[in-house]
Amino acid sequence: MNSTCNPDVGYFDSPKFLSLVLHINTIISTPIYLFGFYCIIWKTPVIMKSAKLYLLNLHIWIVSFDYSISILAIPLLLAPHYAGYPLGVLSWFDVSVLFQTAMVFFFIANMVASIVVIFESRFYTVCEFSWKPYWKRWRKTGVIFYHVVQSCVILALVFFAFDQETVKRNLFAQLPCLPQYIYDANIFVLCDKETYRMLFLLIAIILASVMVVSFAILLVWNILVPVRSRIMSQNTFQLQKSFLIALGVQIVVLLCTIVIPVAYAEISIVFNYYNQSFTNFAVCLFRSIFFRQVSDKFGNFGRCKTDLD
Q: What is the predicted pLDDT for the residue at 307?
A: 43
Q: Is residue 5 part of a domain?
A: no
Q: Which residues of 31-61 are buried (b: 16+ CB within 10 A; e: fewer)?
A: ebbebbeebbeebbeeebeebeebbbbbbbb
Q: Is residue 181 part of a domain?
A: yes
Between 263 and 214, whose confidence is greater? Answer: 214
Which SS3 state, helix, strand or coil, does residue 119 take?
Answer: helix
Between 45 and 304, whose confidence is greater? Answer: 45
What's the rounded Cα separation, in Å, for the pair 175 and 188?
15
> What are 85-112's pLDDT values in tens digits?
999 999 999 898 989 999 998 998 888 8
Q: Is residue 104 part of a domain?
A: yes
Q: What is the predicted pLDDT for the residue at 302?
A: 46
Check which CATH number belongs to the domain holding 134 and give it: 1.20.1070.10
Confidence tier at 293 by pLDDT (50, 70, 90):
low
* Structural domain count of the chain: 1
Q: Is residue 4 part of a domain?
A: no
Q: Is residue 277 part of a domain?
A: yes
> What are 246-275's pLDDT values in tens digits?
666 666 665 666 666 667 777 777 778 888
Q: Is residue 3 part of a domain?
A: no
Q: Is the pLDDT of residue 81 over 70?
A: yes
Q: Please give the residue range of the domain that contains residue 130.
A: 11-308
Least confident of 51-55, 74-78, 247-251, 301-305: 301-305
Total Cβ atoms within 10 A of residue 101: 22
Average predicted confidence (pLDDT) for the chain: 77
Q: Is residue 6 part of a domain?
A: no
Q: Is residue 89 part of a domain?
A: yes
Instruction: Tell me the whole-structure pTM to 2 decimals.
Output: 0.79
